[in-house]
Chain A
Amino acid sequence: MLSIKNLNVSIQGKQILRDFNLEIKAGEIHAIMGPNGTGKSTLASTLAGKEEYEVTSGEVIFNAKNLFDMSADERAREGIFLAFQYPVEIPGVSTTNFMKAAVNAKRKHQGLEPMDAKDFLKLMREKMALVEMNKEFSSRSVNEGFSGGEKKRNEIFQMAMLEPALCLLDETDSGLDIDALRIVANGVNKLRDANRSFLVITHYQRLLNYIVPDYVHVMYGGKIVKSGGKELALKLEEQGYDWIKEENSELV
């Protein structure tokens, strides 16, 4: 589904990703952990198409297409979804209208007619229920005045609405209380299937108890320095990153 080869990315002349490599197959869940500032969000934003991130070399193939030939919105319509670490507030645009535009943009891309108003509202209700979001949020402006946890739930709600092929979750667990964490994780698990892949960025092993990954990678200095199964997350939780930093001291 996704193949990242020797990816180098800079921001404002500062190199963040260095010869980054990763293969994700359909249906797999990959977790990425790593110290603050090592480039995890940079990776997610670059894949989603944020323009400030400059790709200096390397390639990314997504479902047999060159990712860098597509604009951010094209990538989304092709099935890439980024759940933002910091979701953006959009005053004046209701969640309903926002989702209507997004769902219909995707349908248009697939050669389908805009969704019937009744079906759309039914879909909204169904997906809001999935993340136990109160329906009053549908008429409120997107993320405006939402609590940190509500914003994260809203990201997963949107993901459920758009049914992407590849879900990039950037610290979706941070800021969630214990109940919300379970709700969000359940939401994600309900979306798991053989054709959908996940890249889950997190600092906490706890999330991975709920969303059990196939692979865990440790990022440091702009690249993956260690990969393993879910037990790697447990080891990090116990021992921290010192041993990783020591093994890779030449990178920083």
Chain B
Amino acid sequence: MSFTENIAKQFALIGNTNVAELRKNAFTAFEKLGIPSSRHEEWKYTNIKTKLNEQLSLTPVDSQVNTAVKNYISSLPPYSFRIIFLNGVFHSELSIVPQMKGLTVCSLKEAFTSNSSLVEKYFGKLVNYSEEHFAALNTAFVNDGAFVHIQKNVLIDEPIYIQYFFTASDVNAFAQTRSLVILEDGASIQLAEDFRNASNISVQYNHVSEVYVGKNASIDIVKLQLEVSNAIGVDTLEAQVERDGKFSAATITFSSPNTGTGKALIRNNVTARLIGENSHADLNGLYFGKETAHIDNHILVDHISPNCTSNQLYKGVLDDESTGVFNGKIFVKPDAQKTNAFQSSKALLLSNEASINSKPQLEIFADDVKCSHGAAVGQLDENALFYLRARGITKQEATQILTYAFAHEVIEHVHSKPIRQFLCDRLKDELKVNF
């Protein structure tokens, strides 16, 4: 059976009758698009086609909770909200969803019926599935996911922790996970999406988040990809920000040393569309590559309205033969006067075999704007290393401390204190820094 026949057959089998029209359109789009090869401009340095298994299995599988899942859940800080998915399927018995006035947190499956008008209005409207291969595939096959809706002027100061576990025992499984987050005007929330391979084989997943930020609303979203040394993951985050709104996202990727077959390929697409005047986007990323891991961050900030600001800070630490890609686009549309857009991409190469492909892309169609970008690739500062060593700190520890300092700057941008602390501890663990 050919690749397309296989996918079409599986599509026909899904029983999801919700958003059927949209799904059908997305499927038609995917049939045209297929999986991108490296001939595609946006996938030039990330040859995902050769990495994904040929016989993809897309139908959702409800799975047993294994010990890896249990252990990780018990290791998490005691977040008030904990929404747990296994292979894209919501598990209410593992989740904690307290009732709060003005806030709805539930599975997308439930929202399809309980909040059908909101879903109807917002679901699939931000992703560009006619051009984005993986967004199309996800939209066509999505069956469940996370749904978060906050009413006008409601402020939630506890982070909402969404955990996606992948526990496949079939190497062909390609899990489709999804979230839809809607902030009405003046609402504020912090959210984390944590992706984790809890299987003992290499997993494949494709996630899409759609985030609507209303007028004067603000969201701080953190993507955690902390256990991806054995995963192929595509993550697409699409946000739209209205007047005076604030959108802040941090993507944190750690590839720990491989234990199994070691297929680490992560592609993150983050898009922020500043559609309302005086809105703001803060897009940060930190990635650690080891062994043959490949980590690709594709960022787009679309300045559509005047007086908006945006900030991108991406930092990578690449060791062994790992490779990184940073593609940061800033579009400034003709109406977007008084735009202030800043971009910085820095990578530390800890080995001679590691490499990064960094490409800023500025397209500016307004005249009264301030845009700047900088890219730096290099090693740790020799003078700083010597200074630490001159105080008795070993070369290895000095390297770890300076790498920690380099990376920590990104984590400082995470607003949620418990998540920031969690990341800080994880970073210390990773670098074996003990202060």
**Which residues of A are interface residues toward B (Cβ below 8 A)?**
48-51, 71-73, 76-77, 81-82, 84, 87-93, 96-98, 100-102, 105-106, 109, 141, 158, 162
Contact = CB atoms under 8 A, between A and B. Distances in A.
A77 B397 CA distance: 14
Contacts of B389: 49, 71-73, 76
Given A73-B392, A97-B435, A109-B392, A50 B386 contact: yes
Contacts of B401: 93, 97-98, 101
Given A88-B383, A90-B388, A73 B393 contact: yes
Given A105-B392, A109-B392, A87 B387 contact: yes
B406 interface: yes
Contact of B394 (A48, A51, A90, A105): A105
A77 B409 contact: no
Interface of B: 381, 383-384, 386-395, 397-398, 401-402, 404-406, 408-409, 435
B392 A48 contact: no
B390 A93 contact: no
A93 B405 contact: yes
A101 B402 contact: no
A105 B394 CA distance: 8
Contact of A71 (B387, B395, B397, B402): B395
Among A49, A81, A105, A141, the one with the most B-chain Cβ atoms within 10 Å of its Cβ is: A105
Given A71-B389, A82-B390, A88-B387, 9 more contacts: A50-B386, A73-B393, A76-B393, A88-B386, A92-B406, A93-B401, A96-B435, A98-B388, A98-B391
A88 B380 CA distance: 13
Contacts of A77: 392
A90 B393 contact: no
B391 A49 contact: no
B402 A90 contact: yes
Contacts of A105: 391-394, 397
Contact of A49 (B390, B404, B409): B390
A76 B394 CA distance: 10
A92 B384 contact: no
Contacts of B392: 73, 76-77, 102, 105-106, 109, 162
Given A91-B405, A92-B406, A162-B392, A73 B398 contact: yes
A141 B408 CA distance: 12
A158 to B, nearest CB: 7
B435 A76 contact: no
Contacts of A49: 389-390
A82 B391 CA distance: 8
24 contacts: A48-B390, A49-B390, A51-B386, A72-B389, A73-B389, A73-B390, A73-B398, A76-B390, A76-B393, A81-B390, A82-B390, A90-B402, A92-B408, A92-B409, A93-B405, A96-B435, A97-B435, A101-B393, A101-B397, A102-B393, A105-B391, A105-B392, A162-B391, A162-B392
Contacts of A158: 391
Contacts of B398: 73
Q: Which 9 A-B pairs have the closest CB atoms?
A: A92-B405, A76-B392, A102-B391, A88-B387, A73-B389, A97-B435, A77-B392, A72-B389, A105-B392
Contacts of B381: 88
Among B390, B395, B402, B435, the one with the most A-chain Cβ atoms within 10 Å of its Cβ is: B390
Contacts of A87: 387
Contacts of A109: 392
A100 B433 CA distance: 11
Contacts of A71: 389, 395
